[in-house]
Every structure is written in structure tokens, then in C-alpha cells.
Amino acid sequence: MAKAPTYLIHAARVIDGTGKAPMEKASVLISEGKIVYVGPKERAPAPEGVQIIDAPDLTVMPGLIDGHNGISGSLGAVKKLRCYVQYGITTAISFHGNRQGNPTLPTRDMIERGELRGCAQLVVGHAVNCTHGHNKGRLADGPWEVRKAVREMLEQGAEFIKTAASGGFWYENESMSSPNYTQEEMNALVDETHAWGKIVGVHVHTQPGLDRAIKAGADIIYHGCQIDAAAVEKMVEKGIWYIPTLKVTHPRNIAAWVDRPWMRAEMEACTDVHREGVKLAVKLGGKVAMGSDGPGTRYTWLYGENSVFEVAELVNCGMTPLQAICASTLQTAKAYRIDHRVGSLEAGKQADILCVQGNPLEDIEQLQDQNRVSLVFLKGKVEYAGNAYRDYFSIRDEDEIKPL
């Protein structure tokens, strides 16, 4: 892979993703794909050969990380991941790693090697599910078969395991309260996954699945569209991450499913209670991260739009814009244990960076305006450029001779 250029960005402000106050008139130095310096413009080093980007109209922040996506390894995934980047999403977490016929790991690896340019990086999990369960991945019933399934999925390269403790909206022959794994099976799945040093994310909307996942020691709870206050309090007490995917129960999303009336009925019943649960989690200081359940239906969402809409939904549930940006960057990275390399603008981390016109701290919905996205860096390379910054992007694919 060709060496990444050295850039020095002089910006209107820098949001580093850690929760610290934004730095006005600040600079970011990128070299060899890593962040070297973040701080005041007047102290910024300028190495020989550096490309200086004067950006007095831009806010610089970490690339967004979407923590819940159903992206498989099909060719169509490439377009989706390119569109994600054009909205500033630099990492997408996918639970469709073992989707039948479309394994996602080869796509992840091609992006990692630089063979698929302009695509959001993937973190890939595999699903383990019971018979007649919500997830459709590796079928396993009973605690010992569940343990075997987890081992198989991790051997194949899964970076995390996803499972279900309740039904969902998608299938006509299920409901939110449909049972999935028993407590015994859930305990086995979480215990086995943790034994191999990996994390478990659990799809669950309502009781008794919520308590089963919490009691088993799940690392992440997805959705919780009918979550109760007692479950929120237990999650906060145990430090379990909550990725609520608020977009799912938003009226705009519900209205798109005209051909699935059973979905609409259950989603509509969840809109208010879902948001009350998230508001409580925020109020209690719970560990809330961002995931959009993307890519979403094409009847209402552009690829990538889900993610930035979800950031604004977190603000609507009580976060400040700064908290929502942190939840959508470093906090999601922490939830998936990738914060050592991405999620914040700190020296030594991978240079995945979003540069937008304006100030999203004043109006978080600015992130939903794709026309404001001016530069997106992946591993220190400009993989998208718009507005007055288009010249920083080259469509030419770089190649090099490998040494003998």
C-alpha cells in the first residue's frame, strides 16, 4: 500500500471526540496515516513536504462510527460503504458477517488492504440464533450447541457475536415479545464468547429478554424499543452499553413500510416508550453509543443518512450536541473495543477524520446536510472531498512495486 501523504489542517475548530471542549483556531497534523498533533494553530509543527490545508470554515472531528448495520459482503455493499464515507462515517459495524451466500469478511479485508477505496471500514460480527429466532445466522439450540456455534464463528474470524433475546419487527410470524434464547442458552453464549476475549451484542426489545441478556452479562444491548426503567437502571449499574437505534421507531422510518403493516403497528406502539428509555439512560449517565440499524429502506433513507439522523436523535433524547458526537465516535469505539485505534483525534491514532462546514455544536442537524461534508480522511488519505476542497482528492489508484 502506497505511503499516505502528510497533511496539516488549519481549521476553525477541532472537536477531538473525547468530550473535551472544542478547540478554536486549531490544527491537526497527519503523517503516515496517523494523527501526530492536535492543538493550537500557532504551535503546530510543519514538517518538510507537508501539504497545508487552510480551512477557516471547517469543523474537524473524528469520523463517525455507526455501531449497528446489516451490511453483507455483496457487491452492493461497496456502494453503501462509499456513501457512508460521503456522510462522514468512516467505520461501520456489521452484524451480517455470516449472512448466507454473502460473507462479509472478504469485503472487510479488501477495504483494510486498500483494494476497495473510499469505503467505510468494517468491523464484522457473526450471528448465532435459535430455531425460529429473529437473527438468521448460525443456527444453534441448547447450551452445548450454542457454545460450539460461538467457537465456529470466532474461528471463521468474527470480531464479535450477535444474538437475540426477543423477536423483532421484520418477520410477520414474530413479534417483539417472541421468545428467543432461554436464560441457560444465553448464559452459555455470553460465557463462551467472553472466554475467547470477544464481546456479545444482543438484539432485544422487551421483557423477559432484556433481563436475560443483562443477567447473562451481555456487553451491548441493541434497540430496547419497549425497554422499562428497571432494565435501564440495571444496565447502568452493570456498565452495559446501549445502542438504541432510535431511527427504527421514528415516524419517518415507520411511514416507509407501507407493504409491511405488522411492522408499522408494533413500531408505532414503541415510539414514545423507546425515547423515554433512552432519555432515562442519558439522565442516569448510562453508556450510550450510536448505531442506526442501517443501511435502511431506500423508500426514505439515502445510504449513510441513517447515521447522521441517529446522532440528532440522541440530542432529542437529552444529549448535548457534544455528547452526541462523542457517543457517535469514541463511545461507539469503546463499545466495540476499537478505541485504541479509532474514535478520537489523539496523537498515535488512525487518521479517520471528518471535516464539515459550519459548527454542528450549534446545530447538530448540520451533519445531515451532505453538502457540508468537505473532507473525509481514512487512514490519513483523502477519500472524499467536496466544496472548495475537491482538489485534495485524486481518483487515481496508487500502486507500487513490492520489494523482492
Angle in degrees, CA 199, 202, 205, rounded to 5? 160
Domain ranges of the chain: 7-62+344-392, 64-335
Q: CA torsion sign, 339 to 341 to 342 to 348?
A: positive
CA 34 to chain centre: 21
Which class in CATH covers the domain with range 7-62+344-392? mainly beta
| Ranges 133-137, 246-250, 338-342, 375-379: which has the least confidence | 133-137
Q: Are 313 and 303 in contact (CB under 8 A)?
A: no
Other Cβ atoms closer than 10 A to 306? 27
| Amino acid (1-letter code) at residue 170 | W
Q: Is 337 helix (H, G, I), strand (E, B) or coil?
A: coil
- Chain centre to alpha carbon of residue 250: 19
Q: Is the pLDDT of residue 298 over 90?
A: no
C-alpha cell recorded at residue 59:
469543523
Torsion over CA: 301, 302, 305, 307 (sign): positive
Q: What is the pLDDT of residues 20-30, one digit of tens each?
A: 999 999 999 99
**In this predicted structure, what is the pLDDT of residue 2?**
60
Q: What is the pLDDT of residue 1?
A: 53
**CATH tag, 64-335:** 3.20.20.140
- Residue 142 pLDDT grade (very low, low, confident, very high; cuts 50, 70, 90): very high
Per-residue pLDDT, averaged over 339-362, amounts to 98
Q: Please, is 299 exposed, middle or buried when counting C-beta atoms within 10 Å of its C-beta (0-12, 13-18, 19+)?
A: exposed
Instruction: Tell me the CB-side half-sphere exposure of residue 349, using CA atoms within 13 A.
Output: 25
Cα separation, 204 vs 197, whole angstroms: 23
CB 168 within 8 A of CB 194: no
Q: Which of 32-36, 200-204, 264-268, 393-397 has the lowest mean pLDDT?
A: 393-397
By the 8 A CB rule, do 163 and 253 touch?
no
Contact 210, 202 (CB under 8 A): no
Segments in 217-304 forming alpha helices (H): 229-238, 251-255, 261-283
As a whole number, the mean pLDDT across the chain is: 95
- Condensed to tens digits (0 to 9), the pLDDT of residues 76-126 reads 899 999 999 999 999 999 998 887 767 799 999 999 999 999 999 999 999
